[in-house]
């Protein structure tokens, strides 16, 4: 993994007004590679919002071999981006991580099915194979099937849940009839493969009442107990949310900023602008404060899916966002 550091300095403010002082360091570990999914942070960096808060922010891209929680606990980051189910699972196993902000108000997860298989509603799922990512991403789907009363091993007239990689090849090759996709990513891989929206039937997890919170900001209990670190986190969240609101209002510019920060050159302008348009729908309406009802729903679904065994305690705080929003 390559790590790219972006440094900013600000003039020290004091009664004497002499000399310059280094800005406060904050390191953010992303959940995945550099893409519009994380545009708000890159925008905050590019537009000087972190600099305005006297912060020197390092953004570490993620990837398939990077576990954000391990980076956070190992001291390689001060804040990480993660989905709530995996964060709750890590906390139950002893990782003292806490949600301090929730930029994403909605989930981008959905199940995309080929219309040719005759699936037009959840009542048509039995007898079919549904592909999904694992590592915690399968939890909402398993919970949904449980609510519908369908077995997930193909028995008793239920469905078959099949583990798939983070692409849509199994769907296109008809190894599965439906596959997990994100509104801002894999769904468009299906479209780019030559299919049209009319060829597909999609079930958005938000509409089905099985969505869990995605892309929250997390830190450790130890860092929250440190007054100096807590102050830095307040400034970081405030600047980050300013970046997200700017990205919502200027999606094409935000996508361009993401592309400028993609050191791999793997992303394309078309895909990133399209992705940013969809991401803006997920952050819309969020001021960064976690919604308690959404947390409770997400925790219940995570429990129903067997990823945690009891209702979590101390897994989130409004302390940072309350101060950031003043």
**Domain 4-105+213-324 sits in CATH 3.40.190.10:** yes
Residue 55 near residue 239, CB atoms below 8 Å: yes
Q: Which of 148, 109, 108 is nearest to 128 (CA)?
A: 148
Length of the chain as a residue count: 326
Tokens of 58: 């390092």
Query: Where are the chain's structural domains?
Result: 4-105+213-324, 109-208
Which secondary-structure segment (H or E) carries 60? strand 55-60
Query: Which CATH code is given to the segment(s) 109-208?
Result: 3.40.190.10
Digit-by-digit pLDDT tens for the chain (326 residues) are 434 444 333 333 333 343 457 899 999 999 999 999 999 999 999 999 999 999 999 999 999 889 999 999 999 999 999 999 999 999 999 999 999 999 999 999 999 999 999 999 999 999 999 999 887 788 889 889 988 999 999 888 899 999 999 889 999 999 999 999 999 999 999 999 999 999 999 999 999 999 999 999 999 999 999 999 999 999 999 999 999 999 999 999 999 999 999 999 989 999 999 999 999 999 999 999 999 999 999 999 999 888 899 999 999 999 999 999 99
Which secondary-structure segment (H or E) carries 111? strand 109-114
Specify the pTM: 0.90
158: helix, strand or coil: coil
Rounded Cα distance between 240 and 104, Å, is 12
Radius of gyration (Cα) for the chain, nearest Å? 21
pLDDT score of 248: 98
pLDDT score of 262: 96
> Contacts for 168-176 with beta carbons within 8 Å, 24 or more apart?
168/112, 168/193, 170/131, 171/112, 171/114, 171/131, 174/114, 175/129, 175/131, 176/129, 176/130, 176/131
pLDDT per residue over 165-198, tens digit each?
Answer: 988 999 999 999 999 999 999 999 999 999 999 9
pLDDT score of 106: 96
pLDDT score of 64: 85
Residues 6+ apart with CB under 8 A from 274: 184, 188
Cα 252 to Cα 36, 45, 196, 256, 262: the distances in Å are: 10, 16, 24, 6, 15
User: Do the first three CATH levels of 4-105+213-324 and 109-208 match, i.e. the same topology?
Assistant: yes
Work out whether strand 79-82 and strand 97-101 pair parallel, antiparallel, or are unpaired.
unpaired
């Amino acid at each position: 993994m390559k790590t790219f550091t972006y440094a900013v300095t600000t003039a020290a403010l004091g009664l004497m007004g002499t000399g310059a002082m280094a800005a406060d360091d904050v390191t953010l570990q992303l959940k995945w590679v550099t893409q519009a999914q994380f545009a708000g942070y890159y925008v905050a960096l590019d537009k000087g919002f972190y600099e305005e808060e006297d912060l020197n922010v390092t953004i570490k891209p993620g990837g398939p071999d990077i576990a954000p929680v391990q980076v956070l606990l190992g001291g390689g980051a001060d804040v990480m981006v993660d989905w709530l189910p995996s964060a709750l699972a890590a906390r139950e196993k002893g990782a003292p991580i806490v949600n301090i902000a929730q930029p994403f108000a909605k989930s981008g997860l959905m199940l995309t099915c080929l219309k040719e298989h005759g699936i037009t509603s959840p009542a048509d799922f039995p007898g079919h194979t549904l592909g999904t990512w694992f590592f915690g991403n399968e939890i909402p789907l398993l919970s949904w099937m449980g609510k519908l009363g369908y077995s997930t091993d193909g028995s008793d007239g239920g469905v078959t849940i099949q583990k798939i990689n983070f692409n849509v090849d199994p769907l296109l090759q008809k190894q599965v009839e439906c596959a997990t996709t994100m509104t801002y990513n894999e769904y468009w891989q299906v479209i780019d493969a030559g299919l049209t929206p009319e060829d597909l039937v999609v079930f958005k997890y938000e509409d089905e009442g099985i969505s869990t919170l995605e892309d929250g900001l997390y830190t450790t209990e130890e860092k929250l107990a440190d007054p100096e670190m807590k102050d830095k986190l307040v400034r970081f969240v405030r600047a980050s949310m300013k970046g997200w609101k700017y990205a919502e209002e200027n999606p094409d510019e935000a996508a361009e900023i993401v592309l400028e920060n993609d050191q791999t050159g793997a992303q394309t302008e078309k895909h990133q602008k399209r992705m940013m348009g969809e991401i803006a729908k997920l952050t819309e309406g969020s001021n960064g404060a976690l919604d308690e009802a959404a947390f409770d729903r997400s925790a219940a679904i995570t429990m129903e899916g067997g990823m945690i065994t009891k209702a979590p305690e101390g897994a989130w705080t409004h302390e940072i966002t309350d101060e950031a929003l003043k």
